Amino acid sequence: MASMLKRCGIGLGALVGIGGVYAAPPIIYSCAVTNENWGDFWRAAATPYGATTAGLFALSAGGLAFYNGHQERKVNQAVEDRRHDADTIRTLRERYTAAVEQLANDSTTISQAGVYAIAALADDWLRINQIADAQVCINLLCAYLRSTPDASTTEPPPDQPVRDTIMRTIAAHLTVPDSDPDESGGAESKTWRDLDYDFTGAHLHDVNLDRVVFRGERTDFADVHFHGQQASFRETEFRSSRTRFERAEFHSRVASFQEAKFHSMHTAFFETNFNGVSTFFTNAQFHGDAIHFEGAIFMNRTVTSFAGAQVWCRKDISFDLAEFHSSRTTFDSAQFHTPVATFADVQFDSRRTSFENVQFHADQTSFMRAGFDGKNTSFRGAQFLGTSLIFDEAKFLADTTSFIEAAFGSSSTSFRAASFSGLGATFRQAKFASDTTIFAFVNFETTHLCEFDDPGAWKNMVFDWDEDLSKKPDRVVPAEWPPRVSRPNDEAATST
């Protein structure tokens, strides 16, 4: 509007100038040169020349007056807006002080009112795009959760209703409404989902953060103790640059990350302890640069599940030095699409450990020095693709170990110095299609047989008895060596 008026003013000025040049000379000449009186002047002014000049001057004056008036109103409005913004900010800061006093009150009801007041204040800060002030409100709520009166007890503290109110309020604001499917965020409209959350060291009871979205710079659950019936993050999306659960302790009955999506650049579960009844990462998706479960301990009484999980990391996922002591541990049908997937020095001590139908598409997949104990270990139908598969020095101590119908398609596969010392092990109908598969220095000490019958492929296999068949242990079967490929038309032909 202002630019349009400005252009109109300039146009009118130009028009006046042209009209003045056109109409003024006859009038001036009529008055000055011919020395007529003023009556003649007015008669001359009434001519078309004079009327044009007068009209243009009047129109110009009116336009310029309107333009100047608009500019003045614009300046006055800007001053008023600044005054209003200053008043708004001052009012919000006064509300913050009052809300803090409410939150700190000994009365549970008043403290809960303080939570709602702080939440409303954060909403108002975001409404006027004051992100830093909204973050201060979130920091205050998180700080309250971190202030545990007695860290030595697992019982809920006296102010647990206030803490529950905080968690419910946060969850409600982080949940994506069905009417807002676009989670790309942006500078135009920030929400609670775009802020940072620091719960470090907090003791949280019955956490329910299902289907929420974290997409701030940092989401931190490091050293948090989870108690109660559940710690639930089902279908939750972690999109912060960093997501941290390291050294957290899950004492809740159920810890669930089912169908959760980890999109953070770095996701860390270093030395995290899962001590409840069950832990679920079933159908979870792991993206970003790196996922770390190094040193994590899964002590669940029934199940630890990564079944159906999908890993699409740009660098690596690592379970090195982790311990699985649940009654059942399953990675069934999980998929690993990442440069490195490593389970080095992992202790699988579950009654049943299952990697059935798992797919490794990693450049390097490593179970180096991993220990498989318990009743049963199964890699039935597993697919090992990519560049390198390493089971060097792995110890298969379970009563039964199965690689039935497993497909070894990595460029190189190595079981160098591995040990099979349970009741029995079987590779029946496995496809050994790697460019090189090494079973050198392997200890076949199973009580019963270690079977390699009916392989689907047998390509470039290396055993200690390749040069002297008499060195082959009797418990390694079939007796006729090398085994006959069950499907000779397979793309990988038999080769010794």
Q: Given this model, what pLDDT does residue 148 score?
A: 78
Give buried/exposed letters for 161-200 (b at 16+ CB in 10 A, else e).
Answer: ebbbbbbebbbebbbeeeeeeeeeeeeeebbbbbbbbbbb
Q: Given this model, what pLDDT does residue 176 score?
A: 80
For residue 303, what is the DSSP state? E
Q: Given this model, what pLDDT does residue 495 score?
A: 43
Question: Would you write out the chain's pLDDT as a tens digit for each of its 496 residues?
Answer: 545 444 544 444 444 444 444 445 555 445 444 445 555 555 555 666 556 666 666 666 666 666 666 666 666 665 555 555 668 788 988 999 999 999 999 999 999 999 999 999 999 999 999 999 999 999 999 999 999 777 677 788 999 999 999 999 999 999 987 655 455 444 457 899 999 999 999 999 999 999 999 999 999 999 999 999 999 999 999 999 999 999 999 999 999 999 999 999 999 999 999 999 999 999 999 999 999 999 999 999 999 999 999 999 999 999 999 999 999 999 999 999 999 999 999 999 999 999 999 999 999 999 999 999 999 999 999 999 999 999 999 999 999 999 999 999 999 999 999 999 999 999 999 999 999 999 999 999 999 999 999 999 999 999 999 999 999 999 999 999 999 998 655 444 444 4
Longest CA–CA span in the chain (Å) reads 142
Query: Please, which residues have CB within 8 angstroms of residue 12's CB and are 6 or more apart in sequence?
Result: 56, 59, 60, 63, 64
Query: Please, which residues have CB within 8 angstroms of residue 461's CB and are 6 or more apart in sequence?
Result: 432, 437, 439, 482, 495, 496
Instruction: Please state, as a whole number, how many other Cβ atoms lie within 10 Å of the Cβ of residue 473.
Output: 15
CA–CA–CA angle 12, 17, 18 (5° rounding)? 100
Q: What are phi and psi of 49, to 5 degrees?
A: -60, -50
Instruction: Please state, as a whole number, how many other Cβ atoms lie within 10 Å of the Cβ of residue 457.
Output: 24
Which amino acid type is present at position 345? D
Q: Please name the helix (run of DSSP H) or strand (run of DSSP E) that holds residue 274, with its range, or none.
A: strand 273-274
- The residues with which 29 forms a beta bridge, in sequence order, are none
Q: Given this model, what pLDDT does residue 155 score?
A: 83
Please tell me whether the peptide bond between 25 and the residue prior to it is cis, using omega within 30 degrees of 0: no
Q: Given this model, what pLDDT does residue 58 score?
A: 64
Treating both helix axes as pointing N-terminal to C-terminal, what angle do 131-146 and 160-174 enclose, rounded to 10 degrees?
140
Q: Given this model, what pLDDT does residue 77 score?
A: 63
